[in-house]
Structure 1
């Protein structure tokens, strides 16, 4: 089976030929301005080396299935920033190279973008990709090293590849509104509408939650009050459980602590040969040494300071031991209090910190429940205002679309008539308009429900595109739409892959 794919520079005013499904060609007017001038491929898959020069208007590459046409498109995709593997390198070759030359002399937006990215501003744009077995792949823009992100950034202004998947895209009626909006250039207005739509949805969500809260208000109020009363009755304080646990530990170890304190005091001060007594003897011996040896380095004050510190420590130990006593009532209170705190912690997150945080949350929730009517009234006023703004923007968007729909119908009709469908008629059908719908049923794209219809022959009733039986007719519709849409954008070239399929 012989198949074809097409390069169509979108700018054009030369006499060019467009193929029909039966092989006839029809002249049409295209701007006299090439975009993709040359394409070179070397050591790519089954391709040894090819060099293609493109002329003005429509260029057709035809060949049998398996001849390598799709491989060429794969090579072109590399220039658009697609990732590559070493599997594409021709057997026994070290590298694969793809290079293209574009005439961008009249494409100011593309030249400005390239300059802003730091690449030389030239009337010709040269892009080269080198894929190596070593993994050190390279990309160049006008001879300067570039990244795949650089290529991807400018690709949308260079080439649009239209393959077989476009059939599925165009058959899906949900995509038709996007196609129309792209044609009429109303995407900025749609973005404004979408922002208002999102705000409206957020308000609706908040109102829904408040109404749910209102419906279960009494039940929630009772639950919140019970939870809050329990916490307030126990009245926990920050870190209270830790403080009580420390105090409990002292009480249950009263005898040990008292014995240790008394014994330590005796060792320091209380016994006949205590540490302090012995230290005073040391102090006396040092004084005798210094009477004979004036060069002795140890100062009296060193021993005196130590003596004072030990005396103070002994007094602290004495007072500590005297103040220790066992209070059974206090221990019972601490045990009861710790049990209450533990119960709260088990219910509200495992720590006193979470208990106190939950108390604050409950108080806030009670305030919210109590003021739900006031909040609902406020949000309802906001909802009415934003619904009015949403409707006005939807109607504005709908009017732009209706005006653009007529122009799109005329432009596509002109294209398909030149594609050997002289009696066909393309229609943009508004199944529903914003003016006919409630705001509640609006979508992210507005209030319109749009679908493309086609009357393939004279006198026939127009039908949705997905009802068209002929693949050839559908392929030509895609070709026509792509060419019409290209005039509204700045893409340099369009590649049609097997658009005559069917």
Structure 2
């Protein structure tokens, strides 16, 4: 869960340090005070896109740090370990945003990409904005939500991959059949070309080795002459280095009788003599090698010319001939597979059967998840003043499967008893959509594993007794999760276990936003403000105390 959040020089926040407890926390404040700044800052730490305008005016950079307890998140710990980012039971996400648009991210002190921040964030936080209602009207969102509720995401991914493989094979088979004559001609030509190139037998490493050998053989005379001269200076000549050193050795040994301190000079010369003798022996062996003869040079030269001529013919570099041969052989195998034996058709059939098997398994899982989800959401709708209302999920079989499975998924709703459910987008008003969306989110959240849930004014369009029920729902959710709710409803705010208030003030000509935890007295005043506006009376305060007492 989220332990703490540190914000510096972000929008209208200069410096803010917040600790978050478990359970249900509410965040309230005047309109325009900056309640959503906390969500925006946390989103940046979770890898969302940032803009230079988010840096507080007059500052060089904004910095957000979010600390999470991951002791009960083994999947995230495994992910952190895999990326060498694990550091005990804490996960520290840090984001720095500069005025020139640059951005840097860190996980547990190590540099991280935005993608890594987002991947880590998926284990940690789910954020539901006031616009989340409208996303439920989209078919893709409905499908993803049902998959998530049924823990079917991994299976859905396998279905999509299997569908892609099947369709690729299908496309290849159709193309092969349509172009059978052209492919037969291509195969015949490839066989001739491959036979010729295979006889030449190029290899990936051969060209460089030939170049080096040719250079050595072409300069054989210089190498032989130079080698002999080197041997003469090393050991063979009258004034060779070894002769000189042997004389020095002999002289020093004679002088040792007069002063043993000269042993140090002798000890230094002995290894030098050994090294020179080794060099001389190597040169002797090298000069006696048989591959420095002219005949070998002719062989190498002929091989180079053959590779050059073949490379020019096929418009490539000599060192690419081996790769070209491999490509031709692979293409021949592909074309031969499309022949009369029907190998490609067999592969396509097998791929389709694999897809259908996985897709049917997904359909079965969706049917079970849909039955459970629609019953639970329908039950929550009764609590949200949608008496007699019913939520349903239609799974309509498709003529042919898609990457998403064998059925079209559509959320249906009946606002009251006695009517048939119709598509959510056609029957729900703004207020109904808010309530239905909240019911769906509360039910699906109970199935998920994300420890922290944030609701950003999802209670828009709700009021009266329904608002109190919404607060109760969120409070119930907070018994098992960490729930943070930005709200403008006193009925919801009164249900919170912890209450944070956002306020805005002017300091030295700059507007600044602050967030403070409220004790019981100040919380009563905040609930009263939400109930009565600017003029707060004793009656309003009493009402606020009663609401807090009932909660």
Aligned counterparts, 1:80-95, within 5 A: 80-93=46-59, 95=61
Counterpart secondary structure, 2:363: helix
Structure-2 separation of matches of 1:370 and 1:88? 60
Work out which of the residue numbers 397, 401, 404 in structure 1 matches 2:369. Answer: 404
Structure 2 portions without partners, runs of 5+ = 194-199, 201-311, 322-326, 462-551
Question: Which deviations, in whole Å up to 9, do the C-alpha atoms of 1:328-381 show, x marking residues without a partner?
Answer: xxxxxxxxxxxxxxxxxxxxxxx85469x9xxx99x9999999966154x4444
Cα 1:137–1:176 shift into 2, 3 Å: closer
Are residues 1:166 and 2:132 paired? yes
Structure-2 separation of matches of 1:490 and 1:391? 30
> TM (normalized to structure 2)?
0.51
Q: Per-residue deviation at 1:51?
A: 4.6
Counterpart secondary structure, 1:487: helix
Aligned counterparts, 1:53-452, within 5 A: 53-93=19-59, 95-116=61-82, 117-122=84-89, 125-131=91-97, 141=107, 144-149=109-114, 150-214=116-180, 217=181, 352-353=313-314, 374-376=340-342, 378-432=343-397, 437=399, 441-452=400-411
Are residues 1:474 and 2:474 paired? no
Cα 1:455–1:386 shift into 2, 3 Å: same
Q: Does the aligned pair in 1 maintain the 2:44–2:50 contact within 8 Å?
A: yes
Q: How many residues align?
A: 339
Cα 1:473–1:52 shift into 2, 3 Å: farther
Q: Does the aligned pair in 1 maintain the 2:62–2:98 contact within 8 Å?
A: yes
Counterpart secondary structure, 2:48: coil
Q: Does the aligned pair in 2 maintain the 1:115–1:121 contact within 8 Å?
A: no
Q: Per-residue deviation at 1:155?
A: 0.9
Cα 1:370–1:423 shift into 2, 3 Å: closer
Q: Does the aligned pair in 1 maintain the 2:95–2:105 contact within 8 Å?
A: yes
> TM (normalized to structure 1)?
0.55
Q: Per-residue deviation at 1:404?
A: 1.4
Are residues 1:496 and 2:455 paired? yes
Counterpart secondary structure, 2:179: helix
* Alpha-carbon RMSD: 4.5
Structure-2 separation of matches of 1:207 and 1:354? 30
Question: Which deviations, in whole Å up to 9, do the C-alpha atoms of 1:378-434 show, x marking residues without a partner?
Answer: 44444444433333332222112111111122332344444443432211111226x
Cα 1:493–1:221 shift into 2, 3 Å: closer
Structure-1 separation of matches of 2:76 and 2:334? 55
Cα 1:417–1:141 shift into 2, 3 Å: farther
Q: Does the aligned pair in 2 maintain the 1:138–1:145 contact within 8 Å?
A: no
Structure-1 separation of matches of 2:99 and 2:397? 56
- After TM superposition, the structure 1 stretch with the greater mean CA deviation from structure 2, 133-142 or 49-58, is 133-142
User: Which residue does the alignment assign to 1:21?
Assistant: none
Q: Per-residue deviation at 1:83?
A: 4.9
Q: Per-residue deviation at 1:156?
A: 0.9
Q: Per-residue deviation at 1:446?
A: 1.6
